[in-house]
């Protein structure tokens, strides 16, 4: 990292931050949006789709975008994506039907997919493995701290009007000059002839583990606000503050990854994270005092921090320079497919059980899965 200009490092960090804020900026608006459109059938489900529909666009089209970016160029792609990131992201300020709002979120997802693919692949281009782990820890912590700001800010804005948090997405326009001036595509040299641009089958299990992680972790933004605001009757700003503690500890978890990687394999770190998530979700299910959520949210955030960083590093460790953009596309698809499917997969349980009991069931089930893995000792992939 010594040979890379500080403004380039900052720009890489800011680009990564846009992928985090894609959903968290409006997370506390969802219960208020549900009230605004209370005349629409199934609005509770649609309000959750506002958060996850971009993830469907990303999941379906990220692999295709990866191939297009590979041919079109990373810098050009990201400049265009930032402009439309702001255009579609801020649509919630003025659109007044749930159909057009959902459509804008779907188009917004294409921009986020492009930003995430480019951001991930640039890390692989700029850094060697050891420096990559170190920078990714900084990057993930920066993303998480950005999440703290956007969740708290979004919570305060949502208390004034559910539309106001959408204005946060104007940040995409502000980043265009940074990218134009500070990002240069790195020419990949010394690629061996046997290094193809095809996806290696050995990386497929990493995609699955990333998908499963996000399926679980996205319970936090899609279900947590409803538990806090509807059952515990807290304000949007208070709910945002609780969720923000998760993002703050997410940063600490990301920083911890580089230290954990010196001791444990990628697979062991994954299991440690699953254990902590099961513990955190189980605690959420038994809390009766809202203040105790300041204990459970950090547990979930910390484990998510090093698990996400672990997943990206795991994927990059199994790619060669020629396939990096395409691999990042498929990885991005896996992550956001987990985000999109999370509320859909868990909606039947929430419909049957009271929402807090749902957390207990998921936590206990995940703990059983971890125990089975440890007992059978099948989790030996490194």
Structure tokens at 247: 């993002």
- Residue 254's pLDDT is 83
Query: Residue 187: what pLDDT?
Result: 65
Query: Is 305 within 8 Å of 250 (Cβ atoms)?
Result: yes
What per-residue confidence (pLDDT) applies to 1?
Answer: 54
The whole-angstrom separation of Cα 298 and Cα 301 is 5
Question: In this structure, are residues 300 and 147 in contact, taking their beta carbons and an 8 Å threshold?
Answer: no
pLDDT of residue 86: 94
Judge whether 118 and 77 are in contact, CB under 8 Å: yes
Q: What is the DSSP string of 232-246?
A: S---HHHHHHHHHHH
User: DSSP readout, 321-351?
Assistant: GGGHHHHHHHHHHHHHHHHHHHHHHHHHHHH
In the chain, where the domains are located: 1-128+161-183, 200-381
pLDDT at residue number 199: 56
* pLDDT < 50 positions in the chain: 190-197, 380-382
Query: By the 8 A CB rule, do 321 and 188 touch?
Result: yes
| Residue 134 confidence (pLDDT) | 79
Contact 118, 15 (CB under 8 A): yes
Query: Do the domains spanning 1-128+161-183 and 200-381 agree at the CATH topology level?
Result: yes
DSSP assignment, residue 195?
-
CATH number of this structure's domain 1-128+161-183, picked from the four choices 1.10.645.10, 1.10.275.10, 1.20.1250.20, 1.20.1070.10? 1.20.1250.20
pTM, whole model, 2 decimals?
0.74
d(CA 96, CA 94): 6
Question: Which residues touch 57 (CB under 8 Å, ≥6 apart)?
Answer: 106, 107, 108, 109, 110, 113
Nearest-angstrom CA–CA distance, 176 and 374: 47
How confident is the model over 171-192, as pLDDT tens digits?
999 999 999 998 887 765 544 4
CATH class of 200-381: mainly alpha
Q: State how far the Cα of 89 lies from the Cα of 85, in Å rounded to an integer.
A: 6
């Amino acid at each position: 990292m010594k040979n890379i200009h500080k403004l380039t490092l900052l720009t890489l960090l800011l680009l990564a931050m846009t992928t985090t804020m894609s959903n968290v900026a409006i997370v506390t608006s969802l219960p208020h949006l549900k009230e605004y459109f209370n005349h629409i059938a199934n609005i509770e489900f649609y309000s959750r789709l506002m958060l996850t529909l971009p993830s469907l666009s990303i999941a379906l089209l990220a692999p295709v975008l990866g191939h297009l970016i590979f041919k079109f160029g990373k810098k050009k792609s990201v400049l265009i994506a930032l402009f439309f990131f702001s255009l579609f992201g801020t649509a919630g300020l003025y659109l007044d039907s749930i159909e057009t709002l959902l459509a804008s979120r779907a188009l917004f997802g294409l921009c986020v997919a492009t930003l995430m693919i480019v951001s991930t692949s640039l890390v692989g281009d700029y850094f060697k493995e050891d420096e990559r782990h170190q920078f990714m820890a900084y990057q993930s912590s920066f993303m998480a701290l950005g999440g703290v700001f956007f969740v708290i800010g979004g919570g305060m804005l949502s208390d004034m009007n559910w539309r106001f948090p959408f204005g946060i997405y104007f940040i995409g326009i502000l980043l265009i000059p940074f990218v134009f001036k500070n990002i240069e595509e790195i020419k990949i040299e010394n690629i061996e002839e046997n290094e193809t641009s095809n996806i290696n089958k050995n990386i497929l299990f990493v995609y699955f583990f990333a998908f499963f992680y996000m399926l679980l972790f996205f319970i936090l933004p899609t279900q947590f606000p409803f538990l806090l605001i509807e059952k515990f009757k807290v304000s949007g700003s208070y709910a945002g503050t609780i969720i923000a503690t998760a993002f703050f500890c997410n940063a600490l978890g990301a920083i911890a990854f580089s230290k954990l990687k010196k001791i444990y394999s990628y697979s062991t770190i994954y299991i440690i994270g699953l254990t902590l998530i099961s513990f955190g979700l189980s605690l959420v299910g038994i809390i009766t005092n809202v203040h105790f959520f300041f204990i459970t949210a950090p547990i979930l955030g910390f484990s998510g921090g090093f698990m996400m960083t672990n997943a990206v590093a795991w994927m990059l460790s199994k790619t060669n320079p020629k396939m990096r953009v395409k691999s990042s596309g498929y990885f991005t698809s896996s992550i956001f497919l987990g985000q999109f499917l999370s509320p859909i997969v868990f909606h039947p349980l929430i419909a049957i059980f009271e929402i807090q009991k749902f957390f207990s069931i998921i936590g206990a089930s995940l703990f059983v899965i971890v125990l089975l893995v440890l007992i059978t000792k099948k989790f030996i992939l490194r």
